[in-house]
Structure 1
Amino acid sequence: MSDSETAPRVGVDVGGTFTDVVAVTDGRVRVHKVASTPDAPDRGVANGLDEAAAAGLSLPDVGTLAHGTTVATNAVLEGDWAETALLTTEGFRDVLEIGRQDRPDLYDLHGSKPEPVVPRDRRYEVSGRLDERGVELEPLDEDAVRALAADIDADSVAVTLLFAFENADHEEQVRAVLRDAGYEGSISLSSEVLPEIREYERTLATALNAGLRPVMDRYLGRLDERVREAGVGADLRVMASNGGLMDADAAREAPVRTLLSGPAAGVRGAAHVAARHGHEDLLTMDMGGTSCDVSLVRDGEPLVTTDVEVGDYPVATPMVDVHTVGSGGGSIARIDEGGALRVGPESAGAEPGPVCYGRGGDRPTVTDAAFALGRIDPGTFLGDIGGAGEAAHEAIEREVADPLGASVREAAAGILSVAEADTARALRVVSVERGHDPRDLALVAFGGAGPLIASAVASELSVPEVVVPRAAGVLSALGLLVSDRSYDESVSRVRPWDAVDVVDLDAVFADLEERGRERLADVPAGRRRLERALDLRYRGQTYDITVRAPDDLDSEALDAVAERFHEAHRERYGHASPDEPLELVTVRLRARGVVDPPDPEPPSTGGTGADAVSAERPVTFDGRTRDVRVYDRSRLPAGERFEGPAIVAGSESTLVVRPPDRVRVADDGSLVVEVGADA
């Protein structure tokens, strides 16, 4: 089914604790949260769709079904990919093992490198050689490749030959020979996965892609079957790490490009909401049950980088620049061997979850600490929790308070303080440490736990304003519905900048653009955007910077690109050297199929802010307990203003308004918090 402007749109995001389903029909937003099913994520998606259908969504009429998934991410983090073999050029068998000299701790004499994606007994060398411009020096030994085919006992094969980004002929020959010899597993070529310089990064990305292809193929196959059984007629699309949607078939072919699928959707959704409030430069904070993802948005666009680590592996495919810490609502608090209070990265997850959820959890979490301080009431979204509240107090007392010689409330406040400090530290990484002043930015807080600590974190960083979207607890799912179709194409062409031929460069761009048009063949021409960029560096540098390139190339255009590079270098590193010679590294193209984001109708609530007060309860701030108003978020009218302390309880998340804060309810239902000084 083709997309329709009026057909219902559905976004499904699978998190560690909950699977979120957001459906938009005629401007009306419906939200559904179901427990994630980590052993079979597709079952959680199907459960969410069933719940949406039971609430009145006509699944056969759905025009867009977009999915954010952690399947590839979890496979990498857990080392649970398919058995993979590697075929590479003679002399490069151990690239995956040698890696780089980068180490987390330079002076750690016992530091270890990550386990190679492909063990040595499944790494094979083949003869044949190209030079640095792709000219054949030695023909590929096809007989040797054919002989190797009989020895390969793996579900998938990665092929990474030297200088294949300049000339893919040898890699394509290897694939043809393997197929001719009867190999039936998946084959990933570096010239298709990541045709760029740097042997370790290119080999690693290709090997990971090869290992993930059977995993993602099985998952998306099962999911597609469940979606069809549910009656959904729309083609399935998957969020890519670059912040755009890709077809499910493309995700099966290049699963390495989905490693930050979920976090990328959240950042995209946050940028969309912030733009409606006049913020083009912002920080995003997505705190769920397991972790907290933070990112920076400039000029309305999430920053995309090729320098991101997923687990222990530096993956050089384009990804939204997200920094993750293991601090979420379900993160478990403990006292370490040195007597210090720690929070995370271990999480209670969906099962058994926080103690106060009454699902069998017995170790205190961030959520339990918020409950002990009166900041949340799980009963509002779980119903009667019975004795789980008392059990949460007992867990904090046993695991944290008694070892520290503190009261339960003091221990709970300490747990929240550690979570806040961890999050503030992560936000500094993506802002202060990269030359951006948080005082010039807004903070968009979302995820089930994000609004709980957003104000305190913003105050720590001197961020003046926090925006809590109307669908804060499911913003990643909503972000799927405002994301364009997007594909990144690239190829390295390492050349001295003063030797770059405009005609040759235009031809490279033309080839990438043709690939982009093929990817977007079903998108009307008026909605296609082909965006050019170039990676440049000063000659002799090992790192490069991506700068925009114009559609029309001539000598003046190249001069403008060079000037843009100097400006970008100055902004990022504090200096530039305009007289130093430059070097072209990589040619890039982003092909986008632009979508009109859905325009949800504003919430319709009558009455006043006083009518939205559902209760008062004792809440502790800075060691002082006082009775605090609890607002029902669904009943807060647009334009309402109030001051802290207060609690705003929603169906997916709870906003804690500290005593010095002031809140305004925006027309779209977002809560805009003017952050005061620490109380």
Structure 2
Amino acid sequence: MKLIGVDIGGTFTDLILADVAQQQTWIHKVPTTVEDPSIGMIQGIQTLCEMAEADYGDIEHVLHGTTIATNTLLTHDGARTGMITTEGYRDIVHIGRHQRPQHYSIMQDIPWQARPLVKRRDRKVVPERLDPRGEVLTPLDEDAARTAIQELKEAGVESVAICFLNSYFDSRHEDRVAELAQELFPEAFITTSASIFPQFREFERFTTTCINAFVGPKVKRYIQNLSRSLKEQSVRGELHIMRSNGGVATAEVAGEQPVTLLLSGLAAGVLGGAAAGERSQRDRLITFDMGGTSTDIGIVTERGFAEATARDTWIAGYPVMVPMIDVHTIGAGGGSIAYVDEGGAFRVGPRSAGAEPGPVCYDKGGTEVTVTDANVVLNRLDPDHFLGGEMAIYPDKAFAAVQALVDRVGLDLYETAAGILTIVNNNMANAIRSRTIQKGQDPRQFALVAQGGAGPLHAAEVARSLGIPEVIVPRYPGITSAMGLLTTDLKHDLIQNEFTLSTDPHLDKLNADLQALEDQVIEQLRADGFSADQMTLQRFADCRYVGQGYELRAIVPNGELDEAALQSVWQQFHDLHTAEYGHSFPENPVELVTLRVTGTGPMPKLAGLPVPAEGQVEDAWLKTAVTYFRVDGQLEKYSTNFFERDRLPIGGEIEGPAVIFQKDSTILLPPHSHTTVEANGNLLIRLAAASATDPSMAMAAAV
């Protein structure tokens, strides 16, 4: 069985082909074809098949992570969208909530007002009203609905979002308007809020539905074109798309619910990091994915990966109410630009040179010094081994760029380059603190998983500044997201709002609603081709104390619920509240707000990874050269050994300082570090504690 994972980023498209039976893998990177990302993907698949001497017909599954939905939202380049909503609620998506992004600023940017997904003239209202329990207060005016649909059609909208006030409890009115829209406006992309995520909180639900409608036509066309191109290449394997919840969906489902793809590639990166940690028998992980423009941080614990809460999930400034892995992104990458601001402060990022023109050392027109240029000056990147020797870099250009910054910074050449790395490393360390320490987690109890093209180059120094004792470098860190695609399953999430109290839980209704959700999930999985014995169902409850505005998710036991089972749910909630906030109120009544059922269908997965079983570390040695490191507050020259990772044998050990090259990344071992090649393919780096006099530690502590 052969599987292909493809993650399309803004700069590169990463691909991996795995022969599960033979436990062989082939990797490849190609530039992303911005005008049509599917072009580069097809070209990459062709090259991979040539490398593996495989026929297209041998590929049984193509799993894909994409940024097309995210980029469409970020660039505000979606379809002209219309909206049909309950009379009196036309401006919900404009008003938002009482809380403003910046409470006290009179100059702030409010995305849903400055860049509306649906312009006011394209928001139509119809008389209808259900109460929060589904009782009809005002019947749906079908004539008004037909008029609204016709007006949107004549206005030239491409997509229609149907959002009624209490449809999260009963979707009959939304469903009927969707039927009318299909009859009167069949060429439009139709979305109902109840079909996306039937949750209370109308501002977030309406906005999420509008996002789905806004990005839908472009995403659906892309998926259809990609599916057609794969068939033209005689690839018979079914296409599955990565979703933000950590599972994949069929191309058809993904095309109808593109809002669930907003963190597609980022979610795959967390899964890839989690799989690498599992191979090293570590279950508390910080995934650290540093690319050319940004760094993505995810948290994995014994409970699995962290999921973003409904009220805290924002993409491009808009609230998104769909299940998502909690990934925190900052503007720090190899292309981040170093500069002196108007106040004289030395800064790095978030502005980036990107792929074009890129760092100065690429010699593609870049003129501003970047993190990559600083690494070249400190001799941590080598012109003969960059991207496996397939891409040229020019050290003299990097030296000239850093030298131009020297006078403004007031340091010498090497101190300036080291300062760039100190700043960007501390920016990334602070981002990790915000996801660990500020949420009650001690980063010293985690291992850091180094991912991305630049992650392994910075991970050890970032980990040391946080007191993290271990760094795991996966076998192919530069394509961890593509690898993560081959570790996941197909997944569906369905929810039902309850609002029942622990003092009067209505057991009969809870059991009936759980059974209804399970039946729907089973039906969806059966439609995806899974048999009953292949399916796995998990049940959850979002709970809060009465009067709270935020929920915590507890696991609901399988089987019919009784008082004892519910008691375990309430106790879980109290324990979670203590872990999250440092206290709980066991005597207070708990409100069960939402039931959720997650259904999983197993997908074929990546097995072992190739690692040389025999040989000596000396066989992988390339050269010895001078590299610069800051230790105990002093920047010093160190005689550094350079190695080729593909020739490092199982059990091989290397003492830092050292640099290890591989095609998709470069790994840095600073002084006082040690790495071992594990049988699973990972490099496990262990770090000695940093000195308290190290300025990077002092800066990190101060910040």
Asked if structure 1 preserves the Cα contact closer than 8 Å seen for 2:626 and 2:638, the reply is yes
CA distance in 1, matches of 2:611, 2:581: 45
Where do 1:456-605 residues align within 5 Å? 456-521=461-526, 522-552=529-559, 553-595=561-603, 597-604=605-612
Q: Which position in structure 1 is the counterpart of 2:141?
A: 141
Aligned partner letter, 1:304: E
Q: Following the alignment from structure 1 to structure 2, what is the Cα–Cα distance between the partners of residues 609 and 387? A: 27
Pick from 205, 228, 231 the counterpart of residue 231 of structure 2: 228
2:324 alignment counterpart: 319
Matching residue of 1:190: 193
- CA distances 1:344-400 after superposition (whole Å, capped 9, x unpaired): 2232223332222333333222111111110011431354877822112212222x3
Residue-by-residue CA offset, 1:425-457 (whole Å, 9 max, x unaligned): 111111111111111111111110001110111
Give the structure 2 partner of residue 73 of structure 1. Answer: 70
- CA shift for structure 1 position 58: 2.4
The aligned counterpart of 1:20 is 14
C-alpha displacement of 1:601: 4.2
Superimposed CA distance per residue, residues 318-355 of structure 1 (whole angstroms, 9 cap, x where no aligned partner): 10010000111122222222222222223222333222
User: Structure 1 CA distance, aligned partners of 2:50 and 2:80?
Assistant: 41
Q: Tell me the equivalent position of 1:627.
A: 639
The answer for unaligned runs of 5 or more in structure 2 is 692-703
Q: Give 1:75's aligned amino acid.
A: T
For 2:50, which of 47, 54, 61 is the aligned residue?
A: 54
SS of the aligned residue for 1:231 comes to coil
CA offset digits 1:107-126 (Å, max 9, x no partner): 22322311322111111111
Residues 89, 125 of structure 2: 8 Å contact kept: yes
Within the candidate set 201, 205, 218, 2:221 is matched to 218
> Where does residue 694 of structure 2 map in the other structure?
none
Of 398, 401, 423, which aligns to 1:418?
Answer: 423
Tell me how far apart the structure 1 counterparts of residues 547 and 392 of structure 2 sit (CA, whole Å): 66
Q: 1:365 to 1:300 in 2, by over 3 A?
A: farther
Q: SS state of the match for residue 44, structure 1?
A: helix
Q: Counterpart of 1:333 in 2: which secondary structure? A: strand
One of 362, 365, 389 as aligned partner of 2:395: 389
- CA–CA distance in 1 between the matches of 2:323 and 2:176? 27
**Partner deviation per Cα, 1:78-115 (whole Å, 9 max, x = no partner):** 11111111111112111111112334433223223113
Q: Count the aligned residue pairs.
A: 672
Unaligned 5+ runs, structure 1: 1-6
In structure 2, relative to structure 1, the CA distance for the partners of 1:149 and 1:464 (3 Å cut) is same
CA shift in 2, pair 1:308/1:46, >3 Å: same
Partner of residue 4, structure 1: none
Q: Deviations over 1:445-492 (max 9, x none)?
A: 111000111011111111111000111111110000011111111122
Is the contact between residue 239 and residue 258 of structure 1 (CA under 8 Å) also seen in structure 2?
Answer: yes
SS, match of residue 172 in structure 1: helix
Distance 2:98 2:637 in 1: 52
Given the alignment of the two structures, is residue 37 of structure 1 paired with residue 40 of structure 2, yes or no?
A: no
**Is the CA contact 2:101–2:110 (under 8 Å) kept in the aligned structure 1?**
no
Please tell me whether the aligned partners of residues 280 and 682 of structure 2 are also in contact (alpha carbons under 8 angstroms).
no
Measure, in 2, the Cα distance between the counterparts of 1:337 and 1:50: 50
Distance 2:269 2:483 in 1: 8
Say whether residues 1:93 and 2:90 are aligned partners. yes
Any conservation in 2 of the 1:358–1:385 contact (CA below 8 Å)?
Answer: no
SS of 2:494's equivalent in the other structure is strand
Amino acid at match of 1:9: L
CA distance in 1, matches of 2:609, 2:410: 52
Match of 2:294 among 288, 291, 299: 291
Aligned AA (1:365): T
Partner Cα separation in structure 1 for residue 351 and residue 401 of structure 2: 16
Checking the alignment, whether the CA contact within 8 Å between 2:280 and 2:680 is kept in structure 1 is no
| Aligned counterpart, 1:123 | 123
Pairing 1:166–2:169 present: yes
- Aligned-residue Cα RMSD (Å) equals 1.6
Q: Which moved more, 1:68-77 or 1:221-230?
A: 221-230
**Residue type matched to 2:519 in 1?**
E
Give the SS at the match of 2:651.
coil
How far apart in 1 are the matches of 2:252 and 2:383? 40
* Structure-2 change in CA distance of 1:507 and 1:406 (3 Å): same
Superposed displacement of residue 300, structure 1: 6.1
Q: Secondary structure at the match of 1:377?
A: coil
1:384 to 1:321, Cα distance in 2 relative to 1, 3 A? closer
- Matched residue of 1:379: which SS? coil
For residue 622 of structure 2, what is the aligned residue in structure 1? 614
Which deviates more from structure 2 when the two are superposed, residues 498-507 or residues 127-136? 498-507
TM-score (norm 1): 0.96
The residue matched to 1:520 in structure 2 has which SS? helix
Distance across 2 between alignment mates of 1:635 and 1:129? 68
What is the percentage of aligned positions where both structures have the same residue? 40
State the AA in 2 paired with 1:630: F
- What is the aligned partner in structure 1 of residue 240 from structure 2? 237
Deviation (angstroms), 1:417:
1.2
More deviation, 603-612/189-198:
603-612
User: 1:87 and 1:379 mapped to 2: Cα distance?
Assistant: 59
Please identify, of 251-260 and 298-307, the stretch whose mean Cα deviation from structure 2 is larger. 298-307
Does the 8 Å contact 1:17/1:290 carry over to 2?
no
Give CA deviations for 1:568-600 in whole Å, capped at 9, x if unaligned: 111101111111122121111111112453222
Summarize the Cα distance change of 1:542–1:652 in structure 2 as closer, same or farther, 3 Å threshold: same
What is the distance in 2 between the residues matched to 1:534 and 1:588? 6
